[in-house]
Amino acid sequence: MKQIWKSICTFFQTPEQMAEQVFEDIENAYTSSARHYHNFLHINHLLKLIDQYSAQISDIPSLQLTAFFHDFVYDPDRKDNEFQSALYAQKSMKNMNVPPKTCEKVYNYILATQHHKVSNDFDLQFFLDADLSVLGSELSVYQQYATQIRHEYKSVPMFLYKIGRTKVLKKMLERQTLFPILTHLESQAKQNLCWEIDDLRIFKF
């Protein structure tokens, strides 16, 4: 992961000290003890998917930057995580000598992760699909993910968590498609969402 970051900074001719400073900020954010799912493992998974589909992606550096920055701010008690992450990314990229057009693109891509609306921009839609790809994992992996999300929301009483989480899951199921590009994940994702809804329904609290 650090090597990918160095490659990005080399590509944009980022001063070495600035590259190290920003990566240190990112590392501190994603390795927080409060992060159970939204951590470096998630970022590494996204970077691997970007590499796997690199032949189809038109702007790899922008997607890599989006991966590193998109969950920089993650506080379950906040409603503006994506906006705050985008602001940090914008400020950091300017200091990293990233061109204005790329800064704007990454800023908008990060904002798009708040609602995950379908996009005609292939790169953006790919990233949105990749960001939710855990939904289409095998059930055992998904169950671990569900547990990790609960840990991140541990301050929320269980009965309130059940209500809020179920609402989110049902909203996902109502979508015409979860994965416009990574279509192979669709069927398993819907099975997993149904499993968690049922699991939340019978949970004893």
Q: Of 90, 117, 144, which residue is a domain's last?
A: 117
What global pTM score does this model have? 0.95
Number of domains in the chain: 2
Q: Of 83, 117, 151, which residue is a domain's last?
A: 117
126 lies in some domain: no
Query: Which domain, by its residues, includes 89?
Result: 2-117
- Same domain for 36 and 95, yes or no, is yes
pLDDT over 70 at 203, yes or no = no
Looking at residue 32, its pLDDT comes to 95
Q: Rounded CA gap, 166 and 137, in Å?
A: 19
| Banded pLDDT at 202 (limits 50, 70, 90) | low
- Same domain for 88 and 11, yes or no, is yes
Contacts of 155-163 spanning 24+ positions with Cβ under 8 A: 155/76, 155/77, 156/76, 158/203, 158/205, 159/205, 162/200, 162/201, 162/203, 162/205
